[in-house]
Amino acid sequence: MLLLASVKRYGAGWSFEFWKIIQQQVEANGSRPGDAMAKFDQLLQLSQNHSFASSDLLPHQTTERDENERLLLHWAAKAGNARMVELLLSRHPEQLEAQDDMGYTPLVLAALCGHRTVVDLLVAAGANLNHCTKRGHSALQYCCSRGHLGIATYLLEAGAEVNIADRLRETPLHRAVVMGHTAIVQLLLDNGADINAINSTGNTPLHLACSEGQTGCALALLRRGARKDTGNSDGALPLQLAPREIQRALTEAMSRRNDG
């Protein structure tokens, strides 16, 4: 019943995102599914109340963790509830770098979801810009994957590491080209991103732009001097991975550029 209520209130994405994890945690600690979901549901509902009064938050609710080891601060950051984030930080500044069971901090969650005001609050409070989750993903990497140009710009200006790499050795530039975010590609290159960075399979950003059919990103990389002669782990050159029509478009564009 609690799961169905959550779906109706917040949409399927919110509830099912963590339901599987909750079930696994329940099996591990022996608690009842209803108990686990009740705690999850309570924190989720609280975090989405943007018109709350400070008296609405009971002391135990501000320090209790759910089955994913998330605090109310995590949920408020994810929901973009800036007022609640500010209040929680004033009460519990030690929670600024709190991690859930996957290593997500409030800053990473706020950046992931594109909540600029919350990101501003957390950075101003001294949040670690370069913290990485257990999979090695930083706030900047999530911005580059999701296309949050404004937040990515702000994080870089605040000192985020432009070439930070995840467990697959993929940098923010790799993630931006895969998703086709040309403006973010330009931003990263303007801030010193390694244009020829190699991931765990030997692919440069140009390899990925070509293989994913991201013509705009591929052209942006080529115009900025990306190497076309670097083979990946299979020996493939970037342009060899592009669909034929994109190969033609890239070749024609570069030919016009050289003629000009």
**Beta carbons within 8 Å of 78's beta carbon, 6+ residues apart:** 47, 109, 110, 112, 113, 115
Query: For the ranges 14-28, 77-91, 184-198, which has the lowest average pLDDT?
Result: 14-28
Q: Are residues 219 and 178 in the same domain?
A: yes
Q: Same domain, yes or no, for 210 and 150? A: no
Q: Assess whether 147 and 177 both reside in one domain.
A: no
Indicate whether 202 belongs to any domain. Answer: yes
* Residue 247 burial (10 A CB sphere; 0-12, 13-18, 19+): middle
pLDDT in tens, 219-232: 999 999 999 999 99
Domain count, the chain: 2
Contact call for residues 105 and 112 (beta carbons, < 8 A): no
Q: 204 lies in which domain range?
A: 169-259
pLDDT score of 166: 97
Residue 1 is predicted with a pLDDT of 36
Q: Is residue 36 part of a domain?
A: no
Q: Is 88:118 a contact under the CB 8 Å cutoff?
A: no
| Confidence label for 50 from pLDDT (cuts 50, 70 and 90) | confident
Percent of the chain scoring above 70 in pLDDT: 82
The domain spanning residue 76 has which CATH number? Answer: 1.25.40.20
Judge whether 197 and 163 are in contact, CB under 8 Å: yes
